[in-house]
Amino acid sequence: MENVFRGAFILRSHDHQILTGTYFNNGLGDPYPETAKRVKPGKPICDPFLGTFKTLWLEASDWYQADMEITKSSSSPVYHVKWSKDGKPDHEGHAVLENGILFGYYWGSPK
């Protein structure tokens, strides 16, 4: 995937394997919400940010959904985030955890 910077995001973990957050997309101007529900935990299972999620987010004129996978090497503090639609990568990102909040940035192919 070509690394065209798209924006930044934050995600917070909540009960029931739910993540909520805000993302900033270069083309939209305003921040928008994103929410995700974990459908398969990652390892270690105690990390609420690791795993496979169903996610949806708002944009200026519509809402969208995708699969989101968050992984992390045990030897690195950096999380890798991948959003896929219909089994094809759509966006990727990197994030770090600070005070219980995942802070990251993402990129994707030119639209």
User: Would you kindly state where each structural domain of the chain is located, as residue ranges?
Assistant: 4-108
pLDDT at 111: 54
Q: 105 and 5 in contact (C-beta within 8 Å)?
A: yes
Residues in the chain: 111
On the question of pLDDT at 17 being above 90, the answer is yes
Cβ(73)–Cβ(57) below 8 Å = no
Cβ(107)–Cβ(1) below 8 Å: yes
d(CA 80, CA 71): 5
Average pLDDT of the chain is 90
Q: Which two tokens stand for residue 51?
A: 């795993």
The class of domain 4-108 in CATH terms is mainly beta
Give the SS3 label for residue 3. Answer: coil
Q: Mean pLDDT over residues 100-107, rounded?
A: 95
Measured in Å, how far apart are the chain's first and last C-alpha atoms? 12
Instruction: Return the pLDDT at 109.
Output: 65
Whole-model pTM: value is: 0.90
Residues of the chain with pLDDT > 90, as a percent, come to 64
Q: Tell me, what's the pLDDT at 2?
A: 59
Which token pair is 57? 């987010």
Token couple for 5: 């910077």
Is the confidence at residue 66, as pLDDT, over 60? yes
